């Protein structure tokens, strides 16, 4: 049997790519450190240079095969999912942003690295028949400008990088200034690994000093063809006003409704697990509970078994409310802080192990109405499930983001789903089941409610292009 030169070169190429991809994860066959990359690290002083470099990278990327693309995606997964990297990212995020807890950040980064859909997400559609063959293929936009939040700094970069590169794009990141160090570390790490497997240099770029001016320069740059904003209402409005194709993944205020038919011990555990996850930072985390009167006492009692502490003293509730929010917005200094730190500031001593502070409050209270992103959960007692659903819809403020309901009544579950119209609706589980952590479905850290893409993945970062061949290639 003769082996063709093409096959030999294919096998050699794939073997080299595999070996280098393993090295990129920080390990060589001998267990030593990988060699440094000969390519740039993707970090530029000037935003225009960051965009130009990404544009050049994208044009080179067009010449890479789908096999190359898969290799690059695997390389990103490898360098972002080893234990050392995950531990570093989790701890560095808490240290630099002052938000969240390392244990849960480790998990979020791991899901982002390993489970974010890759090239398999961009499926070709085809029609074939007497008139020939027509395909719809997902093609890149080119350079995407991605704005990332403080609350999920590395998770969003990993998740966006995999999805955007899988769709054939290059990406310029505009991170929150309070997550600069971690962002630089991660972008350097990914670029170095990509360089080592032969990817074009600067497929992922950013600037030395992230700032609003730099973000604006990125948004205005003609070579940035698509904008993806993950953050609060201000930045979502900015990208939607840019005149460019934009995906807006904005704020939420997820309510959790509990009715009388629910498995209350399970609901209590799920709510504490979800609302305390990463100190309540995720935009998807339970931010308030609307419970029917007949089960509210039992629900609170069960929540205490899972690390919640109930604040009953109206003076302590008032003190806590006085510093965590101002003018209807969370005060950044307290966002993502541990429950015991928040309690101490309000003059209440609670065990360090406290996962969540709960307080029964009126519906109008800031613990219900404000997206606090802190382990503080307002609980509102209502007469019946219909009132609970109406109040949940109101508390969600039309964000169409996330809602949770605990009930065994399918009619009530259906009514809630129809009325609340959220992008994510979790039934009988903790909120993080909705982003693929412990629930079916893939994870994402860019949930586009305002612009309707939902849980974004590679196909949302691509253009649908039709290719028509007249008269032939249908073999049916
Ligand atoms: P943020 O809006 O303060 O910042 C987000 C990003 O936008 C940062 O990079 C910031 O530097 C930039 N930015 C903000 N205002 C800007 C402006 N006027 N001009 C230019 N750039 C601007 O949000 P955050 O505090 O970092 O993150 C928390 C918010 O993000 C919450 O509201 C949360 O619900 C939301 N969020 C949404 C999702 C989602 O997928 N829908 C995911 C994570 C966070």
The answer to the question of residue 391 being in a domain is yes
Q: Are residues 245 and 272 in the same domain?
A: no
Tokens for 321, please give them: 């409310």
In the reported structure, the alpha carbon of residue 374 is separated from the centroid of ligand 1 by a whole-number distance in angstroms of 16
pLDDT of residue 40: 74
Q: Which of 64, 71, 80, 283 is catalytic?
A: 283
Residue 267 confidence (pLDDT) above 80: yes
The answer to the question of residue 75 being in a domain is yes
Q: Are residues 304 and 423 in the same domain?
A: yes
Q: Are residues 207 and 346 in the same domain?
A: no
Question: For the chain, what is the domain count?
Answer: 2
Domain of residue 287 covers: 255-442
pLDDT band at residue 164, thresholds of 50, 70 and 90?
very high
**CB of 231 shorter than 6 A to ligand 1:** yes
What CATH number corresponds to the domain at position 376? Answer: 3.40.309.10
In the reported structure, the alpha carbon of residue 20 is separated from the centroid of ligand 1 by a whole-number distance in angstroms of 36
Q: Which of 460, 440, 436 lies closest to 448 in space, CA to CA? A: 460
The answer to the question of residue 2 being in a domain is no
The answer to the question of residue 262 being in a domain is yes
Q: Are residues 199 and 272 in the same domain?
A: no
pLDDT of residue 31: 29
Residue 25 confidence (pLDDT) above 60: no
The complex scores an ipTM of 0.97
**Shortest-distance Cα residue to atom 16 of ligand 1:** 235
Q: Are residues 329 and 415 in the same domain?
A: yes
Measured CA angle at 266 (ends 261, 268), to 5 deg: 95
In the reported structure, the alpha carbon of residue 44 is separated from the centroid of ligand 1 by a whole-number distance in angstroms of 22
- Share of the chain residues as helix, strand and coil, in percent rounded to the nearest 5: 45, 20, 35
pLDDT of residue 299: 98
pLDDT tens for each residue of 38-60? 347 999 999 999 999 999 999 99
In the reported structure, the alpha carbon of residue 435 is separated from the centroid of ligand 1 by a whole-number distance in angstroms of 18
Residue 115 confidence (pLDDT) above 70: yes
- Mean pLDDT, residues 433-458: 97
Q: Are residues 201 and 322 in the same domain?
A: no
Work out which ligand 1 atom sits closest to the CA atom of 401.
41
pLDDT band at residue 304, thresholds of 50, 70 and 90?
very high
Work out which ligand 1 atom sits closest to the CA atom of 219.
20
Q: Are residues 342 and 382 in the same domain?
A: yes
- Could you tell which of 99, 149, 207, 229 is best to mutate to test the pocket of ligand 1, judged by most ligand atoms within 8 Å of the CB? 149
Q: Are residues 212 and 300 in the same domain?
A: no
377 near 287, Cβ under 8 Å? yes
pLDDT of residue 476: 86
pLDDT band at residue 278, thresholds of 50, 70 and 90?
very high
The answer to the question of residue 460 being in a domain is yes
**CB of 285 shorter than 6 A to ligand 1:** no
For residue 357, the SS3 value is strand
In the reported structure, the alpha carbon of residue 235 is separated from the centroid of ligand 1 by a whole-number distance in angstroms of 6
The answer to the question of residue 472 being in a domain is no
What CATH number corresponds to the domain at position 213? Answer: 3.40.605.10
Q: Are residues 65 and 189 in the same domain?
A: yes
In the reported structure, the alpha carbon of residue 182 is separated from the centroid of ligand 1 by a whole-number distance in angstroms of 17
Percent of the chain scoring above 70 in pLDDT = 92
180 near 148, Cβ under 8 Å? no
**CB of 435 shorter than 6 A to ligand 1:** no
**CB of 249 shorter than 6 A to ligand 1:** yes
pLDDT tens for each residue of 389-408? 999 999 999 999 999 999 99
Tell me the average pLDDT of the chain.
93
Q: Are residues 334 and 231 in the same domain?
A: no
d(CA 253, CA 305): 25
Residue 440 confidence (pLDDT) above 70: yes
User: In the annotation, is 71 catalytic?
Assistant: no
What distances in angstroms separate CA 58 from CA 63, 102, 145, 237, 357, one per listed residue? 9, 34, 13, 27, 48
Residue 61 confidence (pLDDT) above 50: yes
Q: What string of DSSP letters covers 19-43?
A: HHHHHHTT--TTS-PPPPPSS--SE
**CB of 371 shorter than 6 A to ligand 1:** yes
Work out which ligand 1 atom sits closest to the CA atom of 447.
40
The answer to the question of residue 189 being in a domain is yes
Residue 200 confidence (pLDDT) above 90: yes
Q: Are residues 198 and 282 in the same domain?
A: no
Q: Are residues 208 and 67 in the same domain?
A: yes
**CB of 206 shorter than 6 A to ligand 1:** no
Residue 114 confidence (pLDDT) above 90: yes
The answer to the question of residue 448 being in a domain is no
Roughly how many angstroms between the first and final C-alpha of the chain, as a whole number? Answer: 34
């Amino acid at each position: 049997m003769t082996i063709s030169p093409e096959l030999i070169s294919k096998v050699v190429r794939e073997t080299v790519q595999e070996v280098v991809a393993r090295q990129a994860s920080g390990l060589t066959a001998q267990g030593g450190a990988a060699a440094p990359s000969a390519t740039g690290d993707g970090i530029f002083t000037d935003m225009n240079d960051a965009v130009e470099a990404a544009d050049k990278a994208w044009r080179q990327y067009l010449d890479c095969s789908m096999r190359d693309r898969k290799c690059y995606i695997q390389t990103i997964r490898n360098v972002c999912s080893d234990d050392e990297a995950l531990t570093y990212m989790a701890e560095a995020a808490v240290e630099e942003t002052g938000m969240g807890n390392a244990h849960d950040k480790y998990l979020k980064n791991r899901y982002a690295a390993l489970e974010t859909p890759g090239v398999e997400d961009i499926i070709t559609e085809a029609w074939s028949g007497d008139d020939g063959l027509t395909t719809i293929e997902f093609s890149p936009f080119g350079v995407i400008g991605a704005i990332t939040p403080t609350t999920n700094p590395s998770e969003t970069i990993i998740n966006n990088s995999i999805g955007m590169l899988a769709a054939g794009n290059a990406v310029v990141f505009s991170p929150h200034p309070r997550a600069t160090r971690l962002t630089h570390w991660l972008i350097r790490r990914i670029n170095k690994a990509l360089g080592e497997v032969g990817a074009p240099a600067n497929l992922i770029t950013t600037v030395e000093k992230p700032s609003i001016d730099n973000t604006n320069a990125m948004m205005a740059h003609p070579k940035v063809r698509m904008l993806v904003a993950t953050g609060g209402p201000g930045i979502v409005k900015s990208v939607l006003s840019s005149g460019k194709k934009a995906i807006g993944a904005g704020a939420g205020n997820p309510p959790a409704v509990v009715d009388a038919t629910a498995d209350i011990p399970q609901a209590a555990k799920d709510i504490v697990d979800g609302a305390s996850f990463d100190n309540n930072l995720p935009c998807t985390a339970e931010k308030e509970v609307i419970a029917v009167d007949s089960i509210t006492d039992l629900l609170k009692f069960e929540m205490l078994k899972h690390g919640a502490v109930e604040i009953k003293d109206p003076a302590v509730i008032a003190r806590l409310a006085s510093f965590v929010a101002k003018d209807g917005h969370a005060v950044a200094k307290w966002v993502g802080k541990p429950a015991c730190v928040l309690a101490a500031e309000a003059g209440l001593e609670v065990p360090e192990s406290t996962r969540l502070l709960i307080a029964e409050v009126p519906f109008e209270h800031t613990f219900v109405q404000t997206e606090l992103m802190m382990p503080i959960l307002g609980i509102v007692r209502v007469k019946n499930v219909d009132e609970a659903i109406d109040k949940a819809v109101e508390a969600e403020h039309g964000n169409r983001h996330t809602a949770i309901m605990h009930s065994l009544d399918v009619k009530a579950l259906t009514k809630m789903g129809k009325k609340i119209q959220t992008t994510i609706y979790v039934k009988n589980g903790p909120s993080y089941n909705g982003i693929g952590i412990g629930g079916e479905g893939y994870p994402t850290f860019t949930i586009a409610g305002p612009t309707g893409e939902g849980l974004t993945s590679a196909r949302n970062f691509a253009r649908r292009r039709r290719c028509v061949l007249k008269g032939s290639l249908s073999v049916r």
